[in-house]
Structure 1
Amino acid sequence: MSAPRSSYSRVAITLHWLIALLIIGNFVGGLLMEDLLKPDATAAQKQLGFTIVQLHKSFGLTVLVLSLARLALRLTAGAPPLPAHMTSIERLLAKVTHVGFYAIMILVPLSGWVMVSASPLGFPTMYFGLFEWPHLPVATSAAISGAASEAHEVMAFIGVGLFVLHVGGALKHHFLDRDDVLARMLPFLRKTAA
């Protein structure tokens, strides 16, 4: 890993916000599609639910690819150093949150891909209607698909907890600590002195 940077690159900032928006949208879509695919749903609701499922899978795979690119960038370009005033507990929380986010951004889409690949239903994944995304070479098994589905959901909610911690930390840095941590990802913010 190279020496830490003094600020994030435009590519890193773009990936951060793009992935964040995709994840928030996909989380909402995941909650919505469950209601639309209930057994008592109308045919129109089920059709809308199927469309949302395909979009959910497409956006999830996009998150996976972009997250791998972002991780590669982070490992090669480094990240700005944490402010010197942070306590050891705050530094640990920041590290755990960032490592947790990378794990969630990669493992949630992967678990969804395993779920779909192992499903006995065998529905294809049409990537934004452009082409069929291949299934992973896993056994067709309701048990495997079910376990992947459970992991997918649990990790998504863990991601929500990390999101709350991340946003809370960023706001603390900006409004209480008055440092430039938030401004690193929102360059239009005026950097304040500590």
Structure 2
Amino acid sequence: MREPARYSAVQIVLHWAVVVLIVVQLLTGDLMSEYFSAVMRAGGDRPRMGNAVWHMVSGTLILVFMGTRLALRFTHGAPPPKADSPGWDRVLSKLNHWAFYVVLLAMPLVGAAAYLIPSRALGNLHENTAVLLLALVALHLAGVVYHQFIRKDGLIRRMIDPEHGVERVPPVNPRR
């Protein structure tokens, strides 16, 4: 897999779009849970979805964006860890990132299956996996804090500034 000096602008935009969509998921989870319970009670006639649609739409977008991110990771790669990062940091970072891919691809698929079948077991699996997702987010944020405030290595710039890591060429002075 390639190891470019920086993430592409598309990778950065997709990262932050997924962050926003995860927040939407958390805010609309109760709406979807209430709707799903109504679906389970109703049997064949599905009730009106109402605002629970936002949970479904944002989950679908997460699936599409994470699939795109995964494809970009395989085709464009990701920057390597900082050269002086300890081994435990590299392993934990890699595990956390790949766990994000698994969870953020599986959760929308399981949620969609729970809705389409409908299946209480799949609905419970989807809902209970949110705890794992929150743990991954907390671990990821702890890594950001570690790199930003303890190691002070500026690692966060890789996901904020698409030009980070690009060597700047000074402008040519035509008068010389």
TM superposition score category, shorter chain reference = 0.7 to 0.9
What residue is the counterpart of 2:94 in the other structure? Answer: 95
**C-alpha separation between the residues in 2 aligned to 1:68 and 1:112?**
16
Q: Are 2:155 and 1:156 equivalent residues in the alignment?
A: no
**C-alpha separation between the residues in 2 aligned to 1:171 and 1:68?**
27
Q: By how many angstroms is 1:98 displaced?
A: 0.2
How many residue pairs end up in the alignment?
Answer: 155
By relative contact order (CA 8 Å, sep 6+), the higher-ranking structure is 2
TM-score with structure 1 length normalisation? 0.73
- 1:121-179 per-residue CA deviation (whole Å, 9 max, x = no partner) reads xxxxxxxxxxxxxxxxxxxxxxxx11211110121210001001101101210111111
Q: By how many angstroms is 1:32 displaced?
A: 4.8
What residue is the counterpart of 1:183 in the other structure? Answer: 157
RMSD: 2.2
Amino acid at match of 2:75: T
- 1:24-75 per-residue CA deviation (whole Å, 9 max, x = no partner) reads 1111210355468888xxxxxxxxx932211211111111011101100011
Structure 1: give runs of 5+ residues left out of the alignment. 40-48, 120-144
**C-alpha separation between the residues in 1 aligned to 2:28 and 2:97?**
24
Residues 102 and 149 of structure 1, relative CA distance in 2, 3 Å threshold: same
Structure label with greater radius of gyration: 2
The worse-fitting range, judged by mean Cα deviation, of 49-58 and 92-101 is: 49-58
Structure 2: give runs of 5+ residues left out of the alignment. 39-47, 166-176
**C-alpha separation between the residues in 2 aligned to 1:159 and 1:4?**
26
**C-alpha separation between the residues in 1 aligned to 2:96 and 2:68?**
19
Q: Are 2:104 and 1:105 equivalent residues in the alignment?
A: yes
**C-alpha separation between the residues in 1 aligned to 2:112 and 2:3?**
34
For residues 130-149 of structure 1, what are the structure 2 equivalents within 5 Å? Answer: 145-149=119-123
Q: Tell me if the contact between 2:36 and 2:115 (Cα under 8 Å) persists in the aligned partners.
A: no
What residue is the counterpart of 1:125 in the other structure? Answer: none
What residue is the counterpart of 2:143 in the other structure? Answer: 169
Amino acid at match of 1:183: R
**C-alpha separation between the residues in 2 aligned to 1:107 and 1:148?**
11
What residue is the counterpart of 2:174 in the other structure? Answer: none
For residues 119-134 of structure 1, what are the structure 2 equivalents within 5 Å? Answer: 119=118
Secondary structure of the equivalent of 1:85? coil
Secondary structure of the equivalent of 2:49? helix
Residues 163 and 179 of structure 1, relative CA distance in 2, 3 Å threshold: same
**C-alpha separation between the residues in 2 aligned to 1:22 and 1:94?**
22
What residue is the counterpart of 1:61 in the other structure? Answer: 60
Residues 37 and 149 of structure 1, relative CA distance in 2, 3 Å threshold: closer
Calculate percent identity across the aligned residue pairs. Answer: 33
Q: Tell me if the contact between 1:171 and 1:182 (Cα under 8 Å) persists in the aligned partners.
A: no
